[in-house]
Structure 1
Amino acid sequence: MQFYLMLMIALLPVVKHKHVVIAHRGDHTVLPENTLAAYTRAITDGVDYVEVDLRTFKDGRLYISHGELSELNKDVPSFTDVLKLCKGRVNIYLDFKEADPEIVYPLIKRAGMEKHIVVYCNTLEQVDAWQRVAPKMPLMTSIPDDVKDLDAFFDRYPVSAIDGNVGQYTGEMLAVFKKRNVAVWLDVQAKEEGPLSWQQALDTPVQGLQTDHPGALINYLKQKGNR
């Protein structure tokens, strides 16, 4: 039996809500994205996760930004700052843009946050790298378009969650996800995001929503008795 067939799916962080709400780049329609202020506002909103874009600056420092930067400024938080802010308050959805797991994971452990982070891997090579460095860390990724056999994919890449868009997955695919205990967290952030798109997502058996409007989504879930 090959090694990857023996890998176990890591457990996702425990949350108290039926549907996970993830604040995309913090509450960034109110405050500048990927800043401590935007994350703090999202925590106040009551989200389960803040989405954090992790990159490595040219001098080796780990910083948070969706895009690349030519220079750092005071508004760009370090990864350590974000870990300190979130500890004991909220989970982190770590969008692993450009960094080294062998450097990042010790920082996560030192902060005592290893049970409160899900790492989103942008490539399957990142999945392999994280499996080598931290096999108990829950990972998330996208399903490549050319995948025909989902069971074989999850045997090879035992992720704990996948992302996707509303309507992307068939009932047959959703059944495989459920059988494999893989959570589905849909991306609902879009220009037209609102109650219609939220309800379309909730009408499918998904476990989480990543949103640009965390406060409004949480209020909607409360009105529907889902929070």
Structure 2
Amino acid sequence: MKLLLVSTILLLLYEGDNWQPNPAPASRHKFIVAAHRGDHLIYPENTLAAYQEAIKNEADYVEIDLRTTKDAELISMHDASVNRMTNGKGLVKDLTLNELEQLEVKSKDTTNKVTYRIPTFKQILQLCKHKINIYLDFKAADPAVAYQMIKQYGMEKHVLVYINSAEQFTGWRKAAPKMPLMLSLPDSVENVAGMESFINKYQVDILDGSYKQYDADMVKFAESKHIPVWPDIQSAGEGPADWDKALDKGLSGLQTDHPAALVKYLKGKGLR
């Protein structure tokens, strides 16, 4: 599960009673489906094929993990190293884009003879434009550089950024004050009072965390502040029983490992 050391974030911006959260990217659906690392149970995670499959299966967002190469290029890779997902070795930050592009991304399907490559952020933006929003898990990059590229592809209104550190929070608020930023709800927050204190202190635009952290009252309170709650539900046994619990809490979005199945389930509930 993604963790955020929110206790280190300094409240530098947006003080005062007039603060309003930045709106999330528009979607044509009532219930938001974010495909975790793309549709990665069908194709290798964080590949263009996994993102294309999520688009085909009507997800609202593809979640990508952004990292910076040795020569300052932006690519998508969840881990800091390429060891788990490719036939290479080493840290992304120590390898050039050319070196990374030569690597083959491993597929769990041993019968699949297709060669998959690590995608660049440019390729992802080009693929997603006019098709799907991007949930940008900001692992290791410069906000100003990333935002300039987002603008270059006309995707400013189609991206949200998941924040992993205090420096990222303040960096994004400086580089792109209108960009919607997502923070995880700390495990210590267990009720409406705790949520209100957290929101007032950090002035988050969208809330993440585990769907198990939330109850119906907390979801209603966030909605009253115009803050979407789109937590993680992905797990080894994820399925309709979990989705039923999420709907019972009034949640309006989830990050999932099963976008196609979740979309089908939601259509059956009249929510797509």
Query: Taking structure 2 as the reference length, what is the TM-score of the superposition?
Result: 0.78
Query: Which is further off, 122-131 or 17-26?
Result: 122-131
Equivalent residue of 2:157, what SS? coil
Measure, in 1, the Cα distance between the counterparts of 2:172 and 2:220.
27
- 6, 20, 38: which is aligned to 1:8? 20
Q: Determine if the alignment matches structure 1 residue 180 to structure 2 residue 228.
A: no
User: Which 5+ residue runs of structure 2 have no aligned equivalent?
Assistant: 1-11, 83-89, 103-116
Matched, 1:189 2:234: yes
CA deviation profile, 1:58-117 (whole Å, cap 9, x unmatched): 221110011123241350000011000000000000000111101111111111000000
Alignment of 1:1-227 (within 5 A): 3-6=13-16, 7-68=19-80, 69=82, 70=90, 71=95, 72-74=100-102, 75-146=117-188, 149-227=194-272
Contact 1:186 1:201 in 2 (8 A): no
CA distance in 1, matches of 2:263, 2:62: 14
Are the structure 2 counterparts of residues 43 and 127 from structure 1 closer, same or farther at C-alpha, using a change threshold of 3 Å? same
Unaligned runs of 5+ in 1: none
Aligned mates of 2:260, 2:13 — CA distance in 1? 43
Q: Name the CA shift for 1:3/1:29 in 2 (closer, same or farther; >3 Å).
A: closer
**CA shift at 1:149, angstroms?**
4.4
> Structure 1 residues 125 and 144 mapped into 2: Cα distance closer, same or farther (>3 Å)?
farther
Please give the alpha-carbon distance, in whole angstroms, between the structure 2 residues aligned to 1:126 and 1:3. 13
SS at 2:25 equivalent: coil
Name the CA distance, whole Å, in 2 between partners of 1:217 and 1:171: 21
Aligned amino acid, residue 101 of structure 1: P
Larger CA deviation: 183-192 vs 123-132: 123-132
2:108 corresponds to which residue? none
Worse-superposed segment, 156-165 or 144-153: 144-153
Check whether the contact 1:4–1:155 (CA below 8 A) recurs between aligned residues: no
Aligned-residue offset at 1:156: 3.6
SS at 1:196's partner residue?
helix
| Alpha-carbon distance, 1:205 to partner | 1.4
Amino acid at match of 1:94: L
Deviations 1:169-207 (CA, angstroms, capped at 9, x unpaired): 244433431222111112111001111111111111112
3-state SS of paired residue (2:50): helix
Which protein shows a greater Rg?
2
State the one-letter code of the partner of 2:236.
K
TM (norm. structure 1) is 0.93
- Name the structure where strand makes up a greater proportion of residues: 1
Q: Percent identity?
A: 48
Alignment RMSD: 1.8
Q: Which amino acid aligns with 2:223?
A: K
How many Å separate the matches in 2 of 1:128 and 1:179?
Answer: 25
The alpha carbon displacement at 1:155 in A equals: 3.2
| Number of residues of Structure 1 aligned to a counterpart in Structure 2 | 226
